[in-house]
Amino acid sequence: MGADDELGWRVEEACLNAWPSPRHVLLDGYLLRAAGGASKRINSVNPLRGAGEPEAAIAACEAVYDGLGRRAIFRIPDIAAGMRPGLERRGYRAIGETRTLFRPLGVGDETIPPGIRIEPTPWPEWLTVRDAVSGHDPEVARTFRIVTDAIVLPRAYLATPGPGAIAFGVRVGDLLVIESVAVPTDLRNRGLGGAVVAALMAWGASHGARGVCLQVEMGNTPAEVLYRRLGFTRELYRYHYRVRD
């Protein structure tokens, strides 16, 4: 395994830990998540390092989700794409292609700008912003609370004054995973998103993180522009989901 693949796997595992599912099954090197709700990330099959034979695993995974009364969703990262041919033969189509970005943290990243609120758990106003940006969808709100309640690693929830922009991060060893960056529609294009992400990176650097990663869905141009401006110029790998209608 090369250095890039090793970093890719470390980041992949960190991202799984930063967005956990409280209901899951390990099956021959595949992590089957089944939290319920609409989030594909916590309701899909994820290949791990050393995953077993793909063809047999597809059938076994389908049987697990069928027993739960749910359709099988397969998440396929480029670094572990062994299931892709078998899924294509079975009529699974690709959706939700997402980039995994990385940048190192170092000197100059440790200073948290003034006025940023940082808490170990989301407070009511933080959640209000999150729910509003998500369209006040009760299922999305329920799913988010399931995820945040299941996180066991060091984490921080940040907001600019107001609150305006919000984000949270999880430190996994020397990696910081950035999640849920959001800015209300009426407050966009004021630099708040960049401010909260920079503050989150400073929190991570001051707590021992030496690298930071995040995942952004293809086509989210404003987010990609923001992250590129903040130094996220290295793409480690992409992933997509496979679903069957």
CATH code of 234's domain: 3.40.630.30
106-162 pLDDT, tens digit per residue, is 877 777 878 899 999 999 999 999 999 988 889 889 989 999 999 999 999 999 998
- What is the 8-class DSSP label of residue 191? S
Q: 122-128 long-range contacts, Cβ below 8 Å, gap at least 24?
A: 122/148, 122/157, 122/168, 123/157, 125/159, 125/163, 126/157, 126/159, 126/163, 126/166
Is residue 133 classed exposed, middle or buried when 0-12, 13-18 and 19+ CB atoms within 10 A define those classes? middle
In the predicted model, is pLDDT for residue 215 greater than 70? yes
Residue 244 placed within a domain: no
Do 71 and 187 lie in one domain? The reply is no
- What is the 8-class DSSP label of residue 186? G
- Reported as half-sphere exposure (CB side, CA atoms, 13 A), residue 54 has a value of 17
In the predicted model, is pLDDT for residue 1 greater than 70? no
Task: Report the alpha-carbon distance of residue 37 to residue 51 in Å, rounded.
Answer: 26
Do 118 and 230 lie in one domain? The reply is yes
pLDDT for 128: 95
Average per-residue pLDDT in the chain?
A: 94
Do 85 and 110 lie in one domain? The reply is no
pLDDT for 2: 64
63-97 pLDDT, tens digit per residue, is 999 999 999 999 999 999 999 999 999 999 999 99
Residue 245 placed within a domain: no
Query: 142 is in which domain, residue-wise?
Result: 103-238
Contact 209, 171 (CB under 8 A): yes
Total structural domains in the chain? 2
pLDDT for 108: 72
Residue 243 placed within a domain: no
Report pTM.
Answer: 0.94
Do 107 and 220 lie in one domain? The reply is yes
Place of tokens 């960056």: 181
